[in-house]
Structure 1
Amino acid sequence: MTENGKKTIDLALNRVEGDLELKIEHEDGVVTNAWSKGIMYRGFENMLKGRGARDGLVLTPRVCGICGTAHLLTAAKALDMISGVHLPTNAMLVRNVAMMAEHIQSDLRHGILMFMQDCLNPAYVGLPLYEEAIHRYQTFKGRSVVRTIRMTKKILEIVAILGGQWPNSSFIVPGGVASVPTFNDIVNCTYIINNFTTWYEEQILGCPLDRWQQVRSEQELQAWLDESDSHRDSDLGFFIRFARLVDLHRLGRGHGNFLSFGQLELPEGSAVHGHRDGALLLSPGFIGQGQAATDCDQELVTEHVTYSHFVDYPGGLHPFDGQTQPYVSPYEIIKYSFCKAPRYDGRPAETGPLAQMLISGHPLFTDMIAGGGPNAYIRELARLTRPAELLPAMKIWAGEIDPEAPFYQSVREIPDGRGYGLIDASRGALGHWVEISRQKIAHYQIITPTAWNGSPRDHDGVRGPWEEALIGTPIADPDNPVEIGHVIRSFDACQVCAVHLLTTDDHTAGHSRCLRV
């Protein structure tokens, strides 16, 4: 389609945990501009106003069916802060182990079931790895797909054992956890972790965890790949070979700003130590314009709505002052997304496993970024290998749970006050900002990882992270722009977290087409 003399593509992108529309301008086979359209409205903040102080623990896990534990934990941390409670060690351990189980299933389901599906795109029929890709990743039939579904279902049993159910569990509460695992529960969790680790080593990595952890540079990554057939034939090895074949490293650079709220508290006396000195296993921080901050200040977070379908306010507002008043006019020509535009210190920020690895100082990803900046290849590599960082700590923490020690410190009432919970969910930085007045929720704001990554332009007209990452993307076939799918999916989009009400207007749907798979 040509618009104002410019070639445009309107896309409805699937495999993004929801629905996403993109408008792309391109010239001479290269993307020159992009707009990310969150086409659903998320109204959880308004649903929560006036409800009981603890109601967020029940409602916010429903924000997303994939990362409900993350929303539950974040909501509880905000109330922990307001209550001024000191968590028992057991509570930290149970929270951590459950959270890691959710991270690991999300990473591998996305990598194998969502991202690697693009290897089957018709654009790649003639490539030497295409038949192998079908054998591995054909929907519901591929060898890797079937095994990944089975094993990620198994790892989630840990959340059910510790919290009663998954998804939408409510076992994390202000003051700790409401469940008390028995000795047999802990043994079962450890058994699941050990079995999952063996499978992850054999299928995903093709080597033991400690061998993978020796890979500390891009040169050592190549040496690892050449070292044995098991490395090359693993899913990670296939991903690396395929990524190089289709030049994934040339796609999806973006702004180069990274944000992590950090995650997984280190209990006193634990045998687990963080990547940097601090209270968390994975460190908080911000990297912007080549400079790194070793901490993260929530006071620097703002949300903009100039290009979002909300009632306008000037500049950006901190979440404690945030407004969520949806506004759509048939005469509006500027606003184009139901996603707000979060900014950190006035700048857009990419968040997710790659941001975690860089801010925590992981040598492999630090070396790879120094060599050529961020791209779709490095982003997905960080996601596929993050379980290798989590599984050893997860096993230790499961073994450190003491069934005879306290799991909860009593919190009778939630006092009036303000609090926030900040964690890194599976897709990156997640924050809940809460104000309690007279035992009721007076104010609630949620900023999800996909709101960060998939934001529209801000008050200054600066693109969001994956809008910017699309700029410069080559498009070999405008009728099948698989390259755009690679870039967006490298962020592991979760549109259902960002927005929550799909329009059914026929005239809207008629202008979009889906990527072929």
Structure 2
Amino acid sequence: MSKHVVIDPITRIEGHLRIEAVIDENNVIKEAFSSSTMFRGIEEILKGRDPRDCGLLAMRICGVCTGTHYQRSIEAVEHAFGVTIPKNARLVRNLMQGALYLHDHIVHFYHLHALDWVDITKALEADPKKAVEEAQKWAKIAGTRAWNASEDNYKEVQDRVTKYVKQGRLGVFGNAYWGSKAYKLTPEQNLIGLSHYLDALDLQRRIAKAQAIFGGKNPHPQSIVVGGVTCVQDIKNPARIAEFKDIIQLAQKFTKQAYLPDVYMAGTMYADEALAGVGGGLGNFMCYGDFNLDDTPFYEAKKLFPSGIVLNKDLSKVYDLDQSKITEDVTHSWYEGNDNLHPFDGKTNPNYTGFKEKKEGIAYLDTDKKYSWIKSPLYDDQRMEVGPLARMIVGVARGDERITKYVTTFLKNGNLPTKVLFSTVGRTAGRAIESEMMADVIIQWCDELAANVAAGDLSTWTEFDFDKVSKDAQGYGMAEAPRGSLGHWVKIKDGKVVNYQAVVPSTWNAAPKDYKNRMGAYEASLVGTKVVDPDQPLEIIRTVHSFDPCIACAVHIVDTKGKELAVYKVDPLGGCRA
């Protein structure tokens, strides 16, 4: 007899996400449905605004990857105005964005995703001496030394967590599926993961400081403007660049000595699932491209991450990206109509139709109709997965020398075939591979910025005549966020925004079915997964977390039984009111 499982809310993510799954008598997922139970209304708030102000408002779409929304919005207006930024501005934007990637990936793996692999309770049973040997083993595979691996450290970690357990103060470690048979790490491996979890708490604070050096603050930096950046004094000061570089070098060391070895460790222990392709999903990958490597307009520049499309896991072919082929379908989304529109013509007209009937006090999604606030993006009428793994897949398919080197080195060191990338484990590994590459490249950009300033170039902004360029225009900013492909599209008339649409990574990945009833990336990745215990669906959480969901900016909230708590009306010129 099949069982209908509801996980709401999915925790350790940004925003509100609900997953429903139909599991057969063999505990295999046959159907899955992804629903955002929160409404994003930023696009409507931006209408009527001065386009130069959009970035500061658009970054409020998210409380995590604020800087990347900020930059994409600014770039959309620069594209509309035909503005190309100077070299210093390009490098500073790359540094801010690169620091965001490192911060986001490390926080994600340790503080959002690690507890899907690491059983904290079993770490308390570990032998610290054996844990040191275990850590050194995985670090050797990664070609490095183990991070903070000593008996004293591991014993101190055990004592600290044991104290909380005895006091009944588990905090963020509470209410998990501890003891589930879906956990596979040994006690010593769990202890290593727990130790690095705690170390990463301090590191994330330091990387946030690096972001603030050029951004002014974190989150929500404020130094990017249409035409360039405003952090002139920080660029001119060698000590500020050196401070930024020191922090990144620490993150680089942690990534190589802790993050990568931990992913090797988890990947090896879950190798059977990786080889079987558990969590593989759609098999279609897309990357917009990101991090300009020259000073031509962003849509023409050579990229650190090349753009492209890979279909059906076929790395022998890569297709060029054409932004005109991007559309958003709302057949199963809580918006008016069944339109499938390009973002320039996109509409954000809410039409909340509610949940289906309640059973035993639980309201289920009306999956035959509309069941999510997220739209369903399509590329050339195809569903796509985006994110770090997609960037690595497209990079390898493109024959990019740098990306191919990092990916093949990772696979070779772990004695892993390429096919393991197409899985939950592979998606997690893709993020770690990218983190190592980003740390190395950011340090090069630091040196490039310092050398450029030392040579006398202090330009940070390109002047433009707003009155001449802003009357009637449209533009897009398309690049990558830590979680995947991110685009902002803006239409301007008489110097004011008349339409604005943002298609974010979790729109691509977390979307519901489309007009052909084809699943989104989350949904497709869950189908076929065997769950050890449907009452503790750890496998579902692990796969969904591997995408690093980011579903933010709610103005509509429902409780767990589908009861409406409040209704909000959006006023484009005055925020929102109850």
TM-score w.r.t. the length of structure 1 is 0.84
Moved more, 114-123 or 375-384: 114-123
Moved more, 110-119 or 127-136: 127-136
1:197 matched to 2:252: yes
Alignment-mate amino acid for residue 358 of structure 1? I
**Cα offset, 1:330, TM superposition:** 4.7
Matched-pair contact (CA < 8 Å) for 1:23–1:36: yes
Alignment coverage as a number of residue pairs = 464
What residue ranges of structure 1 are gaps of 5+ in the alignment? 206-233, 270-276, 511-517
3-state SS, counterpart of residue 64 of structure 2:
coil
Q: 1:11 to 1:417 in 2, by over 3 A?
A: same
Q: 1:392 to 1:172 in 2, by over 3 A?
A: same
Alignment-mate amino acid for residue 12 of structure 2? R
CA distance in 2, matches of 1:383, 1:373: 11
3-state SS, counterpart of residue 270 of structure 2:
helix
Matched-pair contact (CA < 8 Å) for 1:190–1:395: yes
CA distance in 1, matches of 2:208, 2:354: 44
Sequence identity (%): 30
1:507 matched to 2:566: no
Deviations 1:144-185 (A, max 9, x none): 112112112212222211121111112111111111122221
Moved more, 169-178 or 124-133: 124-133
Matched-pair contact (CA < 8 Å) for 1:79–1:420: yes
CA distance in 1, matches of 2:284, 2:379: 10
**Cα offset, 1:249, TM superposition:** 5.2
**Cα offset, 1:454, TM superposition:** 0.5
CA distance in 1, matches of 2:277, 2:531: 12
**Cα offset, 1:293, TM superposition:** 3.3
Partner of 2:427: 379
CA distance in 2, matches of 1:464, 1:500: 21
**Cα offset, 1:243, TM superposition:** 2.6
Partner of 1:251: 278
Partner of 2:76: 78
Q: 1:262 aligns with which of 289, 295, 298?
A: 289
**Cα offset, 1:41, TM superposition:** 0.4
Matched-pair contact (CA < 8 Å) for 1:353–1:427: yes
Moved more, 237-246 or 10-19: 237-246
Partner of 2:195: 143
1:304 matched to 2:329: yes
**Cα offset, 1:371, TM superposition:** 3.1
CA distance in 2, matches of 1:44, 1:62: 8
Q: 1:377 to 1:418 in 2, by over 3 A?
A: same
Partner of 2:137: none
CA distance in 2, matches of 1:80, 1:22: 38
Alignment-mate amino acid for residue 303 of structure 2? L
Q: 2:4 aligns with which of 5, 8, 12?
A: 8
Partner of 1:215: none
Residues 45-444 of structure 1: pairs in structure 2 closer than 5 A: 45-119=43-117, 120=119, 121-124=177-180, 129-137=185-193, 142-180=194-232, 181=235, 182-205=237-260, 234-244=261-271, 250-267=277-294, 279-289=302-312, 290=314, 292-314=317-339, 316-330=340-354, 333=366, 334-361=369-396, 362-363=403-404, 371=419, 374-401=422-449, 402-403=452-453, 404-405=456-457, 406-413=459-466, 415=470, 416-444=472-500
Q: 1:25 aligns with which of 12, 22, 26?
A: 22
Deviations 1:366-390 (A, max 9, x none): 8878536711010000112212111
Q: 1:249 to 1:384 in 2, by over 3 A?
A: farther
Matched-pair contact (CA < 8 Å) for 1:36–1:467: yes
CA distance in 2, matches of 1:434, 1:128: 48
3-state SS, counterpart of residue 507 of structure 1:
coil
**Cα offset, 1:492, TM superposition:** 1.0
CA distance in 1, matches of 2:495, 2:182: 63
CA distance in 2, matches of 1:49, 1:249: 48
Alignment-mate amino acid for residue 428 of structure 1? G
Matched-pair contact (CA < 8 Å) for 1:57–1:170: no
Alignment-mate amino acid for residue 394 of structure 2? I
Matched-pair contact (CA < 8 Å) for 2:274–2:420: no
CA distance in 2, matches of 1:340, 1:440: 26
3-state SS, counterpart of residue 35 of structure 1:
strand
**Cα offset, 1:82, TM superposition:** 1.2
Deviations 1:103-128 (A, max 9, x none): 01111111111111112242446967
Q: 1:508 to 1:136 in 2, by over 3 A?
A: farther
CA distance in 2, matches of 1:96, 1:480: 41
3-state SS, counterpart of residue 360 of structure 1:
helix
CA distance in 1, matches of 2:59, 2:31: 35
Partner of 1:274: none
Partner of 2:360: none
Alignment-mate amino acid for residue 345 of structure 2? D
Partner of 1:494: 550
Matched-pair contact (CA < 8 Å) for 2:291–2:303: yes
Partner of 1:472: 528
Q: 1:506 to 1:92 in 2, by over 3 A?
A: closer
Q: 1:126 to 1:505 in 2, by over 3 A?
A: closer
Q: 1:350 to 1:331 in 2, by over 3 A?
A: closer
3-state SS, counterpart of residue 122 of structure 1:
coil
**Cα offset, 1:423, TM superposition:** 0.8
**Cα offset, 1:440, TM superposition:** 1.2
Deviations 1:391-416 (A, max 9, x none): 22211111111334211111341512
Matched-pair contact (CA < 8 Å) for 2:331–2:514: yes
CA distance in 1, matches of 2:182, 2:304: 44
3-state SS, counterpart of residue 497 of structure 2:
strand
**Cα offset, 1:62, TM superposition:** 1.1
CA distance in 2, matches of 1:492, 1:93: 27
Q: 1:128 to 1:66 in 2, by over 3 A?
A: closer
Alignment-mate amino acid for residue 555 of structure 2? L
CA distance in 1, matches of 2:481, 2:429: 18
Alignment-mate amino acid for residue 108 of structure 2? H
Alignment-mate amino acid for residue 411 of structure 1? F
CA distance in 2, matches of 1:89, 1:337: 42
